[in-house]
């Protein structure tokens, strides 16, 4: 499972001119699900993201996590993160989860983040989404489990 996380001042997802999710300070998470992923990997990634210390403390050091700054999450499914780009000029998606598996783990990820007490907003699985953001830093990390 792959989580490309971006620290944001603001982020929004729209589908057909309808806003499906919007946050101010927090993390935009582009979530990629691979064939071997399961509930245990999902929980491990969610815990890591929520505890990841990438927000500045009073000394300007990355020492606080999203919960400690009162931030929110905006989770967007992105199967292209599971692409194999090692050969040729066209990505292969053979390692990506099936849409059914990916949607199930995406929904479980969102529910689990909410259970952990972080306000979590979403895009719409499988939709043509437009994502806009004001990146804070920029600060971007690729987390994998």
Q: Which residues are catalytic?
A: 78-80
For residue 2, list its beta bridge partners: 32, 144
**Distance of alpha carbon 2 from alpha carbon 28, whole angstroms:** 13
Half-sphere exposure of 19 (CA within 13 A, CB side): 8
Angle, vertex CA 41, rays to CA 86 and CA 61, nearest 5: 85
């Amino acid at each position: 499972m792959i989580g490309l996380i971006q620290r944001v001042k603001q982020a929004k997802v729209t589908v057909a001119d309808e806003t499906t999710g919007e946050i101010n300070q927090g993390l935009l998470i582009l979530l990629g699900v691979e064939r071997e992923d399961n509930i245990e990997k999902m929980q491990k990634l969610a815990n890591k993201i929520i505890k990841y210390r990438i927000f500045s403390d009073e000394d300007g050091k990355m020492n606080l996590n999203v919960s400690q700054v009162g931030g929110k999450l905006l989770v967007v499914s992105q199967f292209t993160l599971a692409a194999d780009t090692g050969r040729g000029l066209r990505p292969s998606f053979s390692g990506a989860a099936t849409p059914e598996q990916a949607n199930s783990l995406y929904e479980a990820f969102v529910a689990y983040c909410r259970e952990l007490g972080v306000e979590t907003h979403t895009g719409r699985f499988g939709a043509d989404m437009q994502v806009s953001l004001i990146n804070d830093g920029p600060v971007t990390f690729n987390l994998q489990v």
